[in-house]
Amino acid sequence: MISTVDTKQEQLANGYFKRGSGPEKILVIGSCRSVPYLEYLVRADKANRFTICFIDPFSWHWNERDEFINFEEKINSLETDQRILELLASTNIYLHEYYDSFGMWNSSKEAEKNIYQFGLNPTLDICIPNFNNIHILGQPIEEGEAALEKFYHICQQTSFPEMEWYFRGNWRSKRMFWTHNHVSNYFTMFIFNRLNERFLHLPLTDEFWNDIAEWDLFANTPQPVSDEDRANYQLKW
């Protein structure tokens, strides 16, 4: 299983985390929430179609000795790092969360500095809904509802706007998130299924889906659910 420790250590040592050696290059850029998609891609690529690379921009806050460093200086230095530039120039599929305050890693072409200015020109550019600071549990009902609406708006800005309706229809019966920052495999498996149906077209078997359903990266750190939460939202979990 790929862990966030694995991805961070390899990224800090080599510029990015990498698995596979296939002719098509997938670059996944995202937080720890994107590691499940990385794991799914590695498991799904039985034919070695892909070289799969991963970068968590937030990890540049540390060095290889796990010492806190100047983040801005570090990401500025990456603008001329040949390992990074060669990776961007050779990427075919760009799968990413949205960034707007991370220098060269910014996702918008409208940003003053963004990833496309550094050689990225993918065939597929796919944005994942980002469940970040979505505080629902343990909040007054008005604030929880506002957080849900914030997330639904985020979904509409991504390549998977249908996630809004899946989430609306299922989150009370299935635990779609473990904390305000960490999603469950109900969330990530839905996105990966849509990703494959619309973009990758890999021949995924029932065995594959059953296998990944048994792995849930953040399940060991759930936020407690109160009786008030259950009453407010009619939760069934």
Is 91 a domain residue?
yes
* 96 secondary structure, DSSP code: E
Is 159 a domain residue?
no
- As for how many domains the chain has, the answer is 1
CB under 8 A, 24+ apart: contacts of 71-78: 72/103, 75/102, 75/103, 75/104, 75/105, 76/103, 78/104
User: Could you read off the pLDDT tens digit of each residue along the chain, which spans 237 residues?
Assistant: 999 999 999 999 999 999 999 999 999 999 999 999 999 999 999 999 999 999 999 999 999 999 999 999 999 999 999 999 999 999 999 999 999 989 999 999 999 999 999 999 999 999 999 999 999 999 999 999 999 999 999 999 999 999 999 999 999 999 999 999 999 999 999 999 999 999 999 999 999 999 999 999 999 999 999 999 999 999 999
Is 136 a domain residue?
no
Strand 50-55's sheet: what is its strand order? 17-19, 50-55, 24-29, 93-96, 124-127
pLDDT of 173 reads 98
Domain that holds residue 95: 4-128
Sequence-separated (6 or more) residues with CB below 8 Å from residue 227: none
Is 52 a domain residue?
yes
pLDDT of 6 reads 96
What is the separation, in whole angstroms, between the first and last Cα of the chain?
A: 27
Q: What is the pTM of this model?
A: 0.96
Is 25 a domain residue?
yes
Is 19 a domain residue?
yes
Surface-to-core class of residue 227, CB atoms within 10 Å of its CB (0-12 exposed, 13-18 middle, 19+ buried): exposed
- Count of Cβ atoms closer than 10 Å to residue 206 Cβ: 7
Tokens of 176: 């779609």
